[in-house]
Structure 1
């Protein structure tokens, strides 16, 4: 899910309260830079495009037929993140260039619902795809016979179609009158309304999005833990020093490290936003209220709202960062950094083994020397 970047307000509550709305707006917008959303878009497009190229090359290889289901999931995730950035980032950049005046580029009022649909669709689909990949990996490790007999590429394609359809249809609910998309602070993007709204079913729609996101996170984490456990158990059952055993141990190490990275990225990027959404829904607070926060100088509630707004921006930035990190944690880093890490780990392990052997040899020689000295003493006594 791609969102804009915003700078923190540089004025104080007292200053804005005593000044005019124009002065407050100019102070808030003084530090705004379009460089951040541009760099985020370029980085995400390059990473996801590279991931799509690698997936396509791997998918065409005959020896990777058994991995085609997983490759389809990775390619679909990269494609989802790529389209999410291409459809939303240009709008954000245009609003920044218009000095944060949304209505300059949205004279018809239809751009905000479009932006909200894109945000919701690509955000949910990314989470659903991560869960689907976690289930696929866990099934392949814990129940390999069923996986090899039933997990065909046709089943994977059907699953992908269902995920995209569900995400898109859910995002269309505000268009048909259930829920609402509103402009969010600092006015460069639109998302689900969490404040007081006259739209029917708005609370239901907002809560459902947050719950679905949290549920997807829990499924992904649970399945990844099952996969790690299954890999470690299978690795322990393989004994011996054969080449296949060493290769299995290496692949196990790489996969465990990758899964741990995926879990950390998902938790850090998504949990703050989803939890904060539930909190804002419960308190009926919207980030759009941040535009009037600093005018209420002596209102304690406005100060609390200000903290929520700052934290909400941080949560949105982290969720946006997930689109850039996805291709790296799922594919690119596995091919580059994980192998280097394993080489270093093996080198350290080999050094420890050699040190252990040298220590054992030295102790063995010392014991033989002591035994020889004891025998000499015994012969002299005799």
Structure 2
């Protein structure tokens, strides 16, 4: 009797989808994970070496703090690709049976946690970097006294801790991890009922909120930085390194938005509409999200002053102002400023002459 019950028992992670699968969609080919894993690991490894060298040469505290965040992002992307890529690659090479290898769903739950943790970390770190840059550009004095190297590292660790807590929620009963087609990976159940609905919305909303916060704060910081560079004190404050950090941060935001928004919106739309998950779209948008971990490192590799100086050698980096990149804009700003000052002086003189004329005519 007990043997019969155990034979008919299906572990929780195989209730919805149970291997083996007869699924041969082209997007499920072994070439995708192999190419993505190789490119991702090499890109992040090169970026990490570049960041170490940049950190050794960094002369400002704000630049050092920003490089710590970037290093945390590179380590996160590297480990995410390494763990998930090894599991998926091993499946395509050996074609192992998940139910035989993992009868208690421990391995499946681990991979599901990995997908959630390493998926949310880049988005949350991007929002954290946007907050740090917002404080550094808009509130420089508060930043000097509030943010230190130790606190910067603590902020990275806090992001990892929060993402880890979210990834553990399905093990606590809020949501559930399940085997996904074509049988090479596990992810949380994108369902429209009960705890699966709640966890799906948590994952989607956390990602979308991080992207929205990054967009708003980066926009404000960029506008403030342009005003500072266009102001009268542009010759007194070096802003090249801040421009470099803002360019990198904006590119990180653009890449994250393009890669992650389709998946996050697809999850929210699926659970709110109550329709069944279409596996071909889920696999497609997961591939898009994986591209974020591949493209991010090239932002740090290519968009640096040392590289841009080689591409555009005629640019005078020693002048320390973004306005030197746009001499026509600089001349326009000067002409507008001079014309406005001249107009103001003329109007003031006209008012004074009018008052003097009226005074002389009084009895």
Contact (CA 8 Å) 2:37, 2:85: kept in 1 or not? yes
- Displacement of 1:98 in angstroms is 3.9
- Displacement of 1:188 in angstroms is 1.8
Aligned to 2:52: 56
Normalising by structure 1, what TM-score?
A: 0.70
Normalising by structure 2, what TM-score?
A: 0.73
Contact (CA 8 Å) 2:123, 2:210: kept in 1 or not? yes
In the alignment, the residues of structure 2 paired with residue 106 and residue 117 of structure 1 have an alpha-carbon distance, to the nearest angstrom, of 15
Aligned to 1:225: 219
The correspondence for 2:173, drawn from 174, 177, 200, is 177
Deviations 1:263-305 (A, max 9, x none): 3212101111100000111233454xxxxxxxxxxxxxxxxxx
**Are 2:258 and 1:258 aligned?**
no
**Are 2:53 and 1:84 aligned?**
no
The correspondence for 1:322, drawn from 264, 277, 292, is 292
The correspondence for 1:215, drawn from 209, 217, 220, is 209
In the alignment, the residues of structure 2 paired with residue 220 and residue 31 of structure 1 have an alpha-carbon distance, to the nearest angstrom, of 31
In the alignment, the residues of structure 2 paired with residue 75 and residue 283 of structure 1 have an alpha-carbon distance, to the nearest angstrom, of 39
> Which secondary structure does the structure 2 equivalent of 1:25 belong to?
coil
> Which secondary structure does the structure 2 equivalent of 1:52 belong to?
helix
Contact (CA 8 Å) 1:117, 1:171: kept in 2 or not? yes
* Structure 2 unaligned regions, length at least 5: 1-20, 317-323, 332-363
The correspondence for 2:134, drawn from 113, 132, 138, is 138
In the alignment, the residues of structure 2 paired with residue 256 and residue 30 of structure 1 have an alpha-carbon distance, to the nearest angstrom, of 39
Contact (CA 8 Å) 1:232, 1:252: kept in 2 or not? no
Deviations 1:214-259 (A, max 9, x none): 100001111111111111000100468x6x67x64x5565455434
* Structure 1 unaligned regions, length at least 5: 1-23, 288-307, 357-382
Contact (CA 8 Å) 2:130, 2:249: kept in 1 or not? no
In the alignment, the residues of structure 2 paired with residue 62 and residue 174 of structure 1 have an alpha-carbon distance, to the nearest angstrom, of 42
CA RMSD of aligned residues (A): 3.1
Q: How does 1:257-296 map to 2 (within 5 A)?
A: 257-287=247-277
1:341/1:136 Cα in 2 relative to 1: closer, same or farther (>3 Å)? farther
In the alignment, the residues of structure 1 paired with residue 55 and residue 315 of structure 2 have an alpha-carbon distance, to the nearest angstrom, of 30
**Are 2:229 and 1:235 aligned?**
yes
Contact (CA 8 Å) 1:98, 1:104: kept in 2 or not? no
- Displacement of 1:42 in angstroms is 1.7
1:55/1:251 Cα in 2 relative to 1: closer, same or farther (>3 Å)? closer
- Displacement of 1:108 in angstroms is 4.4
Deviations 1:148-185 (A, max 9, x none): 12111121122122211111111111112221111223
The correspondence for 2:30, drawn from 34, 47, 57, is 34
Q: How does 1:1-382 map to 2 (within 5 A)?
A: 25=22, 28=24, 33-61=29-57, 63-99=59-95, 102-103=98-99, 105-195=101-191, 201-238=195-232, 248=239, 251=241, 254-287=244-277, 308-329=278-299, 331-335=300-304, 338-340=308-310, 342-343=312-313
Answer with 170-179 or 187-196: which moved more.
187-196
Contact (CA 8 Å) 1:95, 1:102: kept in 2 or not? no
In the alignment, the residues of structure 2 paired with residue 103 and residue 211 of structure 1 have an alpha-carbon distance, to the nearest angstrom, of 32
Contact (CA 8 Å) 2:191, 2:200: kept in 1 or not? no
> Which secondary structure does the structure 2 equivalent of 1:39 belong to?
helix
Deviations 1:21-66 (A, max 9, x none): xxx937x267854232122112111221222223233334472444
In the alignment, the residues of structure 2 paired with residue 193 and residue 98 of structure 1 have an alpha-carbon distance, to the nearest angstrom, of 25
Answer with 220-229 or 179-188: which moved more.
179-188
1:192/1:344 Cα in 2 relative to 1: closer, same or farther (>3 Å)? farther
1:63/1:239 Cα in 2 relative to 1: closer, same or farther (>3 Å)? closer
> Which secondary structure does the structure 1 equivalent of 2:191 belong to?
coil
In the alignment, the residues of structure 2 paired with residue 120 and residue 31 of structure 1 have an alpha-carbon distance, to the nearest angstrom, of 21
1:145/1:180 Cα in 2 relative to 1: closer, same or farther (>3 Å)? same
1:345/1:34 Cα in 2 relative to 1: closer, same or farther (>3 Å)? farther
> Which secondary structure does the structure 2 equivalent of 1:201 belong to?
helix
> Which secondary structure does the structure 1 equivalent of 2:303 belong to?
helix
Contact (CA 8 Å) 2:309, 2:315: kept in 1 or not? no
